[in-house]
Structures are given as C-alpha cells and as structure tokens.
C-alpha cells in the first residue's frame, strides 16, 4: 500500500497518472508526486517512525513507492553529530553535522535517491536503469542495479576523478565517459532517454528519484529531537537536494510531527560553478547557465535542472547563497577532517567554507542551531587534496632513526 | 521582414509539422503574436494565464536566451533566428535536436 495519488505539473498543475514520466506535455514544467497527506497523517506518528527500520524506509509512507522496498534496504539514517570542535573554530555553540559521507552502500547522499528510484524502476517493470552523473550518482546506480539484478548504463564526463570511475566499474556496469562537461552529458542523456526504454533515474523517473532526498531533511528533524534547526547549509548542484530538504521540513510541519518551521536554507556552491548563488546574490529569478571550472566536480552543474526552485527555496526560507574558491574548498575539507575526523569530498569542503563565510557575514549567529550537510566521501576525490596535506615520513626500522628524524626526546 | 523561428517537436502539431516557420515583428513579443495569428493555439503553450512566458520555455535569439537580453522587448530584424526550446532539453541550443 502506498500514499501516492499521482503526478502533477509543478507549474500549470495539470494532473497525470502514476507513470514513468517527468515533464508536463502541455507547458514543459517538471512533474512532482502528489501524496495523500490525510491518509499519511493517520498512518504515521513520531512513535511509529521511531519504531521503524534504521534506514530511510522508516519514512516509507512519505516515499513514492507502492510496494515494499526491494533495493537498498540499509540506506540512510546516517549520523547527525554535534560538531563541537568545528563549532569552536567557527564560533558556533550549537553546530551539527549531517554526515552522509558514510551512507550505505556507496558513501554519498545519492544512495537515498537511488534506492527509491531503483525500487520504483522495478515496480514499473524496467530491466535497465541508467543515469547522467558527476560521479556519486554513478557509484550508487551501479551498486543498486547490481543488487537489483538489473542492467545499467551510466554516463559521466570523461575527466572524472579516478576514484569515482573505479567506484562505478567495480559493480560491473556499462560506464560511458562522454567528452564534455556534465551539462553535455545530461543533454545527450535526454536524447538517449527518448529513444530507449530505460529508467534514467534522474530523467525518466526523476519525480520518484527526487523524493528520496526528502529523507535527508526528515532525518535531520528527527535526530534533532523532532525539531527544525535555525539554519541548514546545503551544497548545490542541480538544486534537487536543497528543494527537497525544505519540502521535508514543511511536510513534517504539515503532518504535525514538528512545530512551525523557521529554518533558513542556504545554498553552497564553488565560485567556479555558481549559477545558483550568483542568481540569489543578484536577486534574479532565473539561472544564467555557466561553464563549470572547479575542483568540486560532483557539484559542477552549469545548467541546474531545478535551479529555479533552488533559488525559490532559499528566498522563501529567508536564507542566502554563497560560493567559495578552490583553495577555500580544500581548506574546508582539511578543517572538517582536522576538527571532527570526517574526510569529506570537495562538495563537503564547499559546505564547510561557505558556512564560515555566512558566519563572518553575520547571517548565522553564535548560538543558532545550525546544521551543515556533508553529502559525500573524501576517499573518492583524493586528487583534490593530495598536494596540500603533507606527506609520509619514511624511516629505518630502528629507534635511533625515529629519534633522529623527529628529534623527540625519550620519555622516562 | 521574415524572421526564421525554430519549433520544437512537441509543438510541431500546431505548425503543420514544420520544424521551422517564418514570422514577422519588430521584437520577440510581436514575432510570437504573429506565430499565434498563423498557428492558432501556440500562444497558450508559450504563455501562462497571467500573460507571462512560461518558465520552462526558453526562447533564444541567435543562440542567446532572451531573458538575458530584453525579454519580449528584444528587438528582431530580418535574418534573425528565433528558437523555442523547452528547458528539459537543457544547455545551449547548438547541440539540441528534437
């Protein structure tokens, strides 16, 4: 049993049946899932959720599947940890870190959307899944396709980090490197999707896929003791996650699971690919597409699919958008690692350094309840930091060699 | 003063299956009005109830998004090429085929 009533155009509100479609055929707006919130309100409570599995499926009634989850049963419910050490450095007393760098199974928040999308693809009867990806999605689609026993075709820019290439190939997929940036890959995939009966998770079945991201927001609210924080800082690529985190909090509010939401949502981007934060700073409603040039490849999308809604989320919530240089990204990665022991990927460095900037600007105050979103793992983007974190010191296997090298006196 | 307008395939039903048509006008707004005169029904696909261009319709003049020119007031002249591209296609129009 599920609570999905159908699909609806986000723009002109035309209704559609529950099918693998993603665009309104009348006005070309994106489609979204329509839920039976009254039914959901009767079916769930804080207690029932807390009694559920320690995974995203504890929020199953709020996810767009009809049957039981068949793939990715252990995804989500990642740690929300108190960032006391990082907070001291940044000047915050009430800082939390939502840590999806340890999400199961492929170490990024993308496992949330993919477990929902692949479960849905199986419900629709597809035998092949596919995606356009900057890397994390590639890893996750390949892994979940393997688990589901489905074929997969994965399209990425040909210059991705080697960890992301290897971390996709291992699952036995067909990995295609496209000569071009993500926006070129995405455009090509739109054409391919129109010609093949494959479930392109972030194209053909995007409305279902996208709602998996809501669980990131649900978990933050639940793990904070059923309350919404003052601020959430979210790294932005296509702008799907940021809109869904906001939607998640609003849904919890509507369902009476948390009090009135006053959370401000902030978009974090790399300056080398900042169409969303630039629009926010300029007070523009529309994205001006850019050609990405940044080490934060996982969020290097120059023409974000949900950019308009990303801007709207930030403006509606009273947040802001900021971006940081490649040097600041590396500093952010090192800072998180050296204060909290969390090795995040470049996108996490973006989030940490943008948070620092927002504090300096006075937008986030010392005692505000603040959550930073860490969405990926640093082991996948080692190239970004390999020349800036010191190097291995090699010694002979003798205590004299150790003492001579480090000049440390013996402790008696 | 004919201006060439490229029509995306989902709207070609309205233009007798032509992917390119000619229209006239001194600016984008006038060109689109001329399109409606020639092919009734196309206007409601491009504009919402409030008379604004729909958010997920991109209109390009010579490969530049008119949002970053002067919108519907963007002047047009003989030989200009106007393209109507649903946003789902993404990115610059050069590589987009329907």
pLDDT for res B90? 45
By Cβ distance, the residue of B10, B55, B90 closest to A29 is B55
Using alpha carbons, select from A264, A215, A219, A223 the residue that is nearest to residue A241.
A215
CATH code that applies to domain A110-210: 3.40.50.1100
Chain B residues close to A288, C-beta within 8 Å:
65, 67-68
Burial class (CB in 10 A: 0-12, 13-18, 19+), A179: exposed
Query: Among the CATH numbers 3.40.50.10860, 3.90.226.10, 3.30.420.480, 3.10.20.30, which is that of B3-90?
Result: 3.10.20.30
Angle of helix A136-148 versus helix A110-124 axis, rounded to 10: 40
B12 touches chain A (CB under 8 A): no
User: Running along chain A, 412 residues long, what does each successive block of 10 average in pLDDT?
Assistant: 93 96 93 98 98 98 97 98 98 98 98 98 98 97 98 96 96 97 91 92 95 98 98 97 98 98 98 98 92 95 93 98 98 98 98 98 98 98 94 96 88 75
Question: How many alpha carbons lie under 13 Å from residue B16 in its C-beta half-sphere?
Answer: 5
The third-level CATH classification (topology) of the domain covering A80-106+213-384 is Rossmann fold (3.40.50)
Domain boundaries, chain B: 3-90
Chain A residues close to B87, C-beta within 8 Å:
28
Question: Who wins on pLDDT, B67 or A172?
Answer: A172
Determine contact, residues A269/A323, Cβ cutoff 8 Å: yes
Q: Is the ipTM of this complex over 0.85?
A: no
pLDDT for res B89? 54
Question: Who wins on pLDDT, A229 or B63?
Answer: A229
By Cβ distance, the residue of B57, B68, B97 closest to A28 is B57
Is B86 within 8 Å of A28 when comparing Cβ atoms?
A: yes
Instruction: Tell me the sheet residues that pair with A7.
Output: A16, A33
Is B45 within 8 Å of A286 when comparing Cβ atoms?
A: no
Question: Using alpha carbons only, what angle is made at residue B41 by residues B40 and B46, rounded to the nearest 5 degrees?
Answer: 120
- Mean pLDDT of all residues in B20-41: 96
pLDDT for res A194? 85
Q: With bands split at pLDDT 50, 70 and 90, how would you rate the model's confidence at B93?
A: very low
Interface test with A, best of B56, B65, B98 (most A CBs within 10 A): B56
In whole angstroms, give the CA distance from residue A150 to residue A173.
10
In the predicted structure, residue B98 carries a pLDDT above the cut 70: no
User: Start-end ranges of CATH 3.40.50.1100 in chain A?
Assistant: 80-106+213-384, 110-210
Question: How many alpha carbons lie under 13 Å from residue A106 in its C-beta half-sphere?
Answer: 30
Chain B residues close to A305, C-beta within 8 Å:
90
DSSP sequence for A13-49:
--EE-SSS--B-TTT-PBEEEEE-HHHHHHH--HHHH
Q: With bands split at pLDDT 50, 70 and 90, how would you rate the model's confidence at B1?
A: low
Is B45 within 8 Å of A26 when comparing Cβ atoms?
A: yes
In whole angstroms, give the CA distance from residue A323 to residue B20.
41
pLDDT for res A1? 66
Is B48 within 8 Å of A11 when comparing Cβ atoms?
A: yes
Is B54 within 8 Å of A29 when comparing Cβ atoms?
A: yes
In whole angstroms, give the CA distance from residue A64 to residue A60.
8
Cβ-count burial B24-56 (b if 16+ within 10 Å, e if not): bbebbbbbbbbbbebbeebeebbbeeeeebbbb
In whole angstroms, give the CA distance from residue B20 to residue A155.
32
Interface test with B, best of A10, A23, A27 (most B CBs within 10 A): A27
CA distance B9 to chain A (A): 11
Chain A residues close to B88, C-beta within 8 Å:
22-23, 28, 30, 190
Using alpha carbons, select from A288, A268, A228 the residue that is nearest to residue A252.
A228
CA distance B37 to chain A (A): 20
Q: How many CB atoms lie within 10 A of CB A91?
A: 13
Interface test with A, best of B67, B84, B88, B98 (most A CBs within 10 A): B88
By Cβ distance, the residue of A25, A186, A308 closest to B10 is A25
Residue A386: which residues within 8 A CB-CB, separation 6 or more? Answer: none
């Amino acid at each position: 049993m599920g609570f999905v009533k159908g699909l609806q155009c986000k723009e002109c509100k035309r209704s559609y049946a529950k099918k693998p479609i993603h665009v309104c055929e009348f006005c070309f707006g994106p489609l979204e899932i329509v839920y039976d919130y009254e039914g959901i309100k009767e079916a769930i409570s804080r207690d029932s959720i807390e009694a559920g599995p320690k995974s995203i499926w504890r929020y199953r009634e709020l996810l767009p599947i009809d049957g039981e989850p068949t793939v990715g049963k252990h995804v989500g419910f990642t740690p929300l940890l108190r960032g006391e050490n990082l907070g001291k450095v940044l000047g915050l007393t009430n800082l939390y870190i939502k840590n999806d760098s340890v999400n199961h199974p492929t170490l990024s928040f993308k496992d949330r959307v993919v477990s929902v999308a692949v479960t849905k693809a199986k419900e629709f009867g597809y035998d092949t899944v596919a995606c356009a990806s900057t890397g994390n999605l590639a890893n996750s689609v390949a892994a979940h396709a393997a688990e589901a026993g489905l074929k997969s075709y994965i399209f990425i820019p040909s210059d991705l980090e080697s960890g992301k290439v290897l971390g996709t190939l291992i699952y036995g997929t067909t990995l295609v490197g496209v000569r071009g940036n993500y926006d070129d890959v995405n455009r090509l995939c739109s054409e391919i999707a129109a010609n093949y009966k494959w479930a392109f998770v972030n194209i053909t079945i995007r409305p279902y896929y996208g709602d998996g991201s809501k669980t990131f927001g649900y978990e933050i609210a639940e793990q904070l003791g059923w309350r919404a924080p003052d601020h959430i800082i979210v790294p932005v690529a296509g702008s799907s996650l940021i809109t869904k985190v906001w939607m998640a909090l609003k849904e919890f509010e509507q369902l009476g699971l948390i009090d009135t939401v006053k959370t401000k949502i902030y978009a974090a981007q790399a300056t080398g690919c900042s169409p969303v934060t630039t629009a926010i700073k300029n007070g523009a409603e529309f994205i001006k597409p850019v050609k990405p040039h940044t080490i934060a490849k996982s969020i290097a999308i120059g023409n974000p699919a949900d950019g308009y809604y990303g801007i709207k989320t930030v403006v509606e919530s009273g947040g802001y958008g900021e971006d940081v240089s490649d040097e600041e990204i590396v500093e952010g990665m090192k800072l998180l690692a050296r204060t909290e022991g969390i090795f995040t990927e470049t996108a996490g460095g973006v989030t940490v350094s943008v948070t620092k900037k927002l504090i300096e600007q006075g937008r986030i105050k010392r005692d505000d309840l603040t959550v930073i979103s860490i969405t990926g793992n640093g082991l996948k983007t080692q190239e970004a930091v390999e020349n800036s974190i010191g190097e291995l010191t090699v010694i002979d296997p003798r205590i004299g060699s150790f003492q001579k090298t480090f000049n440390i006196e013996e402790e008696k | 003063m004919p201006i060439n307008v490229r029509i995306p395939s989902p709207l070609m039903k309205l233009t007798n299956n032509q992917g390119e048509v000619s229209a006239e006008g001194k600016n984008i707004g006038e060109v689109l009005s001329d399109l409606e005169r020639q092919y009734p029904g196309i206007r409601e696909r491009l504009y919402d109830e409030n008379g604004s261009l729909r958010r997920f319709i991109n209109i390009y003049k010579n490969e530049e998004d008119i949002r970053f020119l002067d919108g519907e007031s963007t002047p047009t002249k003989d030989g200009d090429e106007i393209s109507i591209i649903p946003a789902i296609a993404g990115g610059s129009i050069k590589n987009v085929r329907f």
